[in-house]
Amino acid sequence: MKKALVLGATGGIGYALVRELVERGVEVVAFSRGKERLHALYQNESKVSIFSGDALVEKDVIEAADGVDVIFHAVSFPYQEWKDKHPLCIEIIVRAAEMQQTKIALVDNIYAYGRQSKIEVIEDTKKEPHTKKGKIRLAMENRLKRSNVPCLIVNMPDLYGPNAENTLLHETLKNVVLNKSANFVGDIKVAREFIFTLDGAKAMVELALREDTYNQNWNIPSAHPITGEEIIEILRKEVGYKKSIRTVSKTMIRFIGLFQPFMREMVEMMYLTEDPVILSGKKYEAKIGPIPHTPYKKGIKETLNWMNEKV
């Protein structure tokens, strides 16, 4: 891979992908609607060319994909817009890839797996999503697989890291930075996975650089599941945070959802905070090697340092 297009380059995982690709000597087209944000993040990167465009406008994506080897799909939309925008977006990306004869690497989450009784979910686990958003993600995956485009589908758990703002853990960390009382979404006693974006990007780029990894699903788990109590302990001991942290329950989310569309859509995904899906990384480890794992203590501190610089 000599040149890549990252759609959604101003998001958390998009930013991490651009960084990782540049570190590996790959030229990158950083694509997003926010021109000012693109310049703020990448104006000093010699290997990054900025493309301000809309992933829902076919001519923008086709133009940006000219001459690239891989299109990384890291575009996110507000939950309430998923039904209308995600199917259109994946259709446009497929058409652009077919026209430009390039590959697609999709950043995916765990929603399509639905509820799982297994301790660790492997790539071949049957996907039977019971939520609207899980069904949308599965439809996106199936659309890619029906195309003639070589595709890479990478499943990751909840994200956190530099520039990763639309995440559950960011809801906690944003007030830690301001030294205000914070919220933690979900039961603090339930162990869940949170993956550091720079680790996820490193593993995904490694997969994208190979020829024998396409037309497959790959799980990239975190180092290990962690409880909210353990995260709070890190914030107390390592960061010196002393303010209160309130647990945000499904009932509270449902109430807030009466007034906020995003929270209304969040309710159906709260099952993941009660009965988490834990990914197995054995396939990656057998084929590629050790999965990049930043200890939570270090990853949280790096994320907070990034956030402090932006305050």
**pLDDT value of position 260:** 72
Identify whether 257 is part of a domain: no
Contacts of 286 (CB under 8 A, 6+ apart): none
Query: In a structure prediction context, what are the per-residue pLDDT tens digits for the chain, which is 311 residues long?
Result: 999 999 999 999 999 999 999 999 999 999 999 899 999 999 999 999 999 999 999 999 999 999 999 999 999 999 899 999 999 999 999 999 999 999 999 999 999 999 998 789 999 999 999 999 999 999 999 999 999 999 999 999 999 999 999 898 998 999 999 999 999 999 999 999 999 999 999 999 999 999 999 999 999 999 999 999 999 999 999 999 999 999 988 888 887 766 677 677 888 898 999 999 999 999 999 999 999 999 999 999 999 999 998 76
- DSSP SS3 for 33: coil
What distance, in Å, lies between the first and last C-alpha atoms of the chain?
36
CA torsion 115-116-120-122 (nearest 10°) is -90
| CATH code of 131's domain | 3.40.50.720
Q: Is 254 exposed, middle or buried (CB count within 10 Å of its CB: 0-12, 13-18, 19+)?
A: middle
Residue 298 lies in a domain: no
Residue 191 within any structural domain of the chain:
no
The count of domains in the chain is: 1
Nearest to residue 68, comparing CAs of 152, 151, 4? 4
Structure tokens at 131: 């939520």
User: 307 in a domain, yes or no?
Assistant: no
Q: What does the pLDDT read at residue 81? A: 94
Q: Which residues of 214-241 are buried (b: 16+ CB within 10 A; e: fewer)?
A: beebbbbbbbebbebeebbebbeeeeeb
Concatenate the DSSP letters of all residues of 212-229 into one string: TT-SEEEE---SS-B-HH
Which tokens is 242 given? 């002393």
Q: What per-residue confidence (pLDDT) applies to 267?
A: 86
pLDDT at 266: 83
Backbone angles phi, psi at 126, to 5 degrees: -60, 135
Residue 2: both structure tokens together: 């000599």
Q: Phi, psi (5° rounding) for residue 297?
A: -60, -45
Structure tokens at 246: 């309130």
Judge whether 260 lies within some domain. Answer: no
Decide if 167 is inside a domain. Answer: no
The CA distance from 173 to 150, in Å, is 38
CB contact set of 231 (below 8 Å; sequence gap of 6+): 169, 172, 184, 296, 300
Q: State the Cα–Cα distance between residues 65 and 60, nearest whole angstrom.
A: 9
- SS3 state of residue 3: strand
Give me the DSSP letters along 68-136. -SEEEE-----GGGHHHHHHHHHHHHHHHHHHHT-EEEEEE-SGGG-S--SSSB-TTSPP---SHHHHH
- In the chain, which ranges are E strands? 3-7, 27-32, 48-52, 70-73, 103-108, 151-155, 158-160, 182-185, 194-196, 216-219, 245-248
The answer to whether residue 233 sits within a structural domain is no
What are the backbone angles phi and psi of residue 310, rounded to the nearest 5°?
-95, -10
Sheet with 103-108, edge to edge strand ranges: 48-52, 27-32, 3-7, 70-73, 103-108, 151-155, 216-219
Torsion of CA 193, 198, 203, 206, to 10 degrees: 170
Please check whether residue 288 is in contact with residue 161, taking contact to mean a CB–CB distance below 8 angstroms.
no
Task: Please check whether residue 164 lies inside any domain of the structure.
Answer: no
Range of the domain at 48: 3-157+197-222+277-293
